[in-house]
């Protein structure tokens, strides 16, 4: 999915389940902090609250607007 499509589906501030490195680790329940951007070779990333650095959108699952988050 490219940044334009992700941003059309997931607004900044949307609750998400974010896996910082791989889907095998414990996810962080947080919110998107920025819009997604295409950075290189088809990689699309987004920043989320409570984590340093961008997260590959393949490791970000949108949640319902009223979902309780950690950060």
Domains of the chain: which residue ranges? 3-62
Q: What is the 3-state secondary structure (H, E, C) of 1-66?
A: CCHHHHHHHCCCCCEEEECCCCCCCCCEEEEECCCCEEEECCEEEECECCCCCCEEHHHEEECCCC
53-70, pLDDT tens digit by residue?
999 999 999 999 888 888
pTM check: above 0.75: yes
- Evaluate if residue 3 carries a pLDDT over 80: yes
21-41, pLDDT tens digit by residue?
888 888 999 999 999 999 988
């Amino acid at each position: 999915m490219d940044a334009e499509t992700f941003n059309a589906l997931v607004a900044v501030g949307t609750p998400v389940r974010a896996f910082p490195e791989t889907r095998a680790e414990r996810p962080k329940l947080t919110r998107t902090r920025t819009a997604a951007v295409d950075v290189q070779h088809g990689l699309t990333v987004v920043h989320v609250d409570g984590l340093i650095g961008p997260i590959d959108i393949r490791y970000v699952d949108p949640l319902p607007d009223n979902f309780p988050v950690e950060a």
